[in-house]
Amino acid sequence: MPGGAYEVVAGAGALSLIEEKRGLLERDPFALIVNETVLGLHGDYIRRCFGDFHAFDIYGMPDGEEQKSYRHAERAFEWMLGAGISRRSTVVGVGGGVTGDFAGYLAALYMRGISVIHVPTTLLAMVDSSVGGKVAVNLSTGKNIVGAFHQPEMVLADTDFLRTLPDDELRNGLAEAVKHAFIGENELYALFESNDFDSIKNPKKLADIVYLSARFKSSIVERDEREGGVRAILNFGHTVGHAIESLLEYRGISHGEAVSLGMAVELELSVRAGLLDRAHAQRCMRLLERYGLSTHRDGLDADGLMHHMKFDKKTSGGAAHFALLAGAGEPVYDRAMPDGLVRGVLADVLAGEA
């Protein structure tokens, strides 16, 4: 990749390959940033894989998007300094997307940048956030506002972690994988259309989803590491999705649910903007519903969402910019839409009236 080539390894037992990075991890003490729930469920396995390394400290990270904040990062930086983490050290993030984003952000900024290895433990992190080098924390008014591009040394997507993942968390990751299917990963689209939520939980099929998603996203990032062009297609569903998360203060909604709602809104916006025929939009909506992904939610204020979109990174000249669909696997990006059209679509779709 432009920021430096690295391996993305997916499959059962992948964490054991951390041994390949012994030279990197034993230069100085390394920081193991681990989600507390993951540590409780898989602590013995994690400690066994890292047990032969001579010097590391574990920083337990609680669940919740609200933990990925500027304030919590300052506390973690102080901990790293006290733990003897140096410019030759490495940060290893073990957990879901929040943990990975947070660990990557710490690595990108600490002492002007140190190495990071991602060990995603949720389907969402495996198919999306662990690949591509985007790391960030949130502000109260917007998601991922303060961040950097910082590519990892390695990504180890160990699908053994998925065995303890509840159905809601699987759906959380499926939303991002379905997005990849919508915007151009045709093999993944076919896989989703020929299965349902129960059959997709087969370990081999989950591994296929991780592989196809990581391959697709990597191919986009290789062409546009810093989101100056085509990488923006990966934002499909996210302009609205991030606004929903910000409006709700990252409570009571998962990232996947917000993105699924965002895709439902942006599919309808694509239709009303004259880009997409309604038949394909309906086909996509049926696929979301087949996997139990949200397509409407009562109680979300359209004006409040419009306000939060103004703080989105994709806003330019005071107007929110969208990645939309112009056909099956045909995304377009950087499309400014009139406020009145966006507000109307938000109100109709989220109330289930579109």
Task: Write out the catalytic residue numbers.
Answer: 112, 134, 176, 217, 227, 231, 235, 238, 242, 255
For residue 224, give every residue at least 6 positions away whose Cβ sits within 8 Å of its Cβ, in sequence order, or none: 230, 231, 232
Tell me which residue of 176, 164, 167, 68 sits closest to 121, measured CA to CA: 164
Q: List the structure tokens of 66.
A: 């609200």
User: Long-range contacts made by residues 106-110, C-beta under 8 angstroms, separation at least 24?
Assistant: 106/31, 106/33, 106/73, 106/76, 106/77, 106/80, 107/135, 107/150, 108/135, 108/147, 108/148, 108/149, 108/150, 109/73, 109/77, 109/148, 110/77, 110/80, 110/85
Collapsing DSSP to helix, strand or coil, 151 comes out as coil
- Residue 39 to residue 222: CA distance in whole angstroms: 33
Pick from 13, 4, 15, 5: which is nearest to 156 by CA? Answer: 15
**Which single residue is written with the structure tokens 């005071």?**
318
Query: What is the distance of C-alpha 117 from the center of its chain?
Result: 16
What is the chain's length? 354
User: b/e string for 259-272 if b means 16 or more Cβ within 10 A?
Assistant: bbbbbbbbbbbbbb
Residue type, 345: V
342 exposure class (CB count in 10 Å sphere: 0-12, 13-18, 19+)? buried
